[in-house]
Structure 1
Amino acid sequence: MAASSARIGVVTFPGSLDDRDAARAVRLVGASAVPLWHGSHDLEGVDAIILPGGFSYGDYLRAGAIASLSPIMSEIVDAANRGVPVLGICNGFQMLTEAHLLPGGLIRNDHGTFICRDQRLRVENTSTAWTNAFPASAEITIPLKNGEGGFIASSDVISELEDSGRVVFRYLEVNPNGSMNDIAGVTNARGNVVGLMPHPEHAVEPGFGPDTRVAMRSGTDGLPLFASALAGLLAAA
């Protein structure tokens, strides 16, 4: 398989804001970005799927709850259970927990307000479908913007996630939303489904992402997530 033959779908829901950014990130690593519509049952034969950030259905009921019941989500659940790589970013992470593809849930930030900042993270697990291009224990800086980003789960689930290495990203320096154990992102047991609250798609081009000396690669710290998916697809072809 040539890189351009790898097809990564990006789903648009009513209220999606970052679907075009995610599609651009896919194209920057050399894969083909395929637009998918929330009301369709057709995944169009894509090799991987991204649920982007935004405010699907205005965050009514609970953030991601209504979107998790969209027609395309039944197909995404089946695909994820077959091993297809699925990434949920911010609102997409909320959808994945609501669809029970990932454990836990996301609640209102503990300070009660929306937050937007450049956020340092540590990559805790570099063996997932979306993190294999990172070096071990990489520390990165990517944008964060959420109002309901506090990760919660029962003590048993938290222990299981920690003990099994399923915490993928952890907040460094400051916990911006009250997430338990500073958890910024998790994976399923198989490692093909990953959700995170910060936005890697906003840190894929020099000069357009966070520009700081502590970042792994100035302005492009989010790019390895998309490169990871492509590398896995090429290896499996």
Structure 2
Amino acid sequence: MTVRIGVITFPGSLDDRDAQRAIRIAGAEPVALWHGSHDLDGVDALVLPGGFSYGDYLRSGAIAALSPIMTEVKDAAASGMPVLGICNGFQMLVEAHLLPGGLIRNDNQHFVRRDQKLTVENSSTAWTSAFEQGQEIVIPLKNGEGGYIANEDTLDRLEGEGLVAFRYAGVNPNGSLRDIAGITNPAGNVVGLMPHPEHATEPGFGPDTASAMRSGVDGLGFFQSAIEAVVRVAA
């Protein structure tokens, strides 16, 4: 079967085309969706991409979380459809209350851009099954408001229920509490993270590795995981 993964473009999105390309490289069909529509065009999974939706006014992702298509995103997530929020998309997911907590200004008050080591804490979600629990991967990071926050009860629940999907390794680039880089909902179909897996899917354009410059493709596992999850449900 051909798996179709929708990528939603919001005013100010800038990584939507990159996400579409990553989906195509992984072996699925990317489908461009528009924030003002109520039509998901029959897709099997969804990506909310990075960028600066609505100029990051109010709080990053706060206005985009109220876009018309988010009604359908919430319904799709509730039905079990795989949904991935990357950077600004992660901010949208927390603003839409599809994931708990929030994202605030980096503690160093600077925009951070780096190849970031992550530890995979949960490899049983729709977007992480291609990895091993405890595996270390390298994914590009670029954000100004990437500090993950939540109250202590929420943090304890995330830890206790295995809902921390990724943790920063080596260095915490933005002050995220407990080094949290990404989380999942209890069902495992909705995942949000600040680093950008779509920028680590093609040799020659990803992070440097020990074998060659710009050869890192750890981000490919995210999209391959989603494809496998969709195929498994359809079987």
TM-score by length of 2: 0.97
In structure 2, distance between residues paired with 1:91 and 1:73: 14
Structure 1 range deviating more: 133-142 or 181-190: 133-142
In structure 1, distance between residues paired with 2:231 and 2:77: 18
**Residues 1:55 and 2:52 aligned together:** yes
In structure 2, distance between residues paired with 1:177 and 1:211: 22
Gaps of 5+ in 1: none
Amino acid at match of 2:208: D
In structure 2, distance between residues paired with 1:186 and 1:14: 25
In structure 1, distance between residues paired with 2:100 and 2:218: 26
Amino acid at match of 1:193: V
| Residue of structure 2 equivalent to 1:118 | 115
**Residues 1:156 and 2:153 aligned together:** yes
Secondary structure at the counterpart of residue 21 of structure 1? helix
In structure 2, distance between residues paired with 1:163 and 1:125: 12
**Residues 1:39 and 2:33 aligned together:** no
Secondary structure at the counterpart of residue 109 of structure 1? coil
| Residue of structure 1 equivalent to 2:69 | 72
Cα offset for 1:210?
A: 0.3
Amino acid at match of 2:48: L
In structure 2, distance between residues paired with 1:183 and 1:136: 15
Amino acid at match of 1:69: L
2:135 is matched with which residue: 129, 135, 138?
Answer: 138
User: 2:47, 2:84 within 8 Å by CA — same for their partners in 1?
Assistant: yes
| Paired positions, count | 233
Secondary structure at the counterpart of residue 140 of structure 2? strand
Matches within 5 A, 1:203-222: 203-213=200-210, 218-222=215-219
Cα offset for 1:214?
A: 9.3
Give runs of ≥4 in structure 1 deviating > 3 Å. none
| Residue of structure 2 equivalent to 1:169 | 166
| Percent of aligned pairs with the same amino acid | 70
Residues 68-97 of structure 1, C-alpha deviations (whole Å, 9 max, x = no match): 000000110011011111000000000000
Gaps of 5+ in 2: none
Matches within 5 A, 1:78-97: 78-97=75-94
In structure 2, distance between residues paired with 1:83 and 1:74: 15
Residues 16-73 of structure 1, C-alpha deviations (whole Å, 9 max, x = no match): 0000000011101111100000000001111100000000000000000000000000
Cα offset for 1:218?
A: 4.0
Matches within 5 A, 1:17-36: 17-36=14-33
Secondary structure at the counterpart of residue 142 of structure 1? strand
In structure 2, distance between residues paired with 1:25 and 1:15: 20
| Residue of structure 2 equivalent to 1:195 | 192
Q: Compute the RMSD of aligned alpha carbons.
A: 1.3
In structure 1, distance between residues paired with 2:38 and 2:4: 17
2:13 is matched with which residue: 13, 16, 36?
Answer: 16
Matches within 5 A, 1:224-235: 224-235=221-232
Amino acid at match of 2:60: A
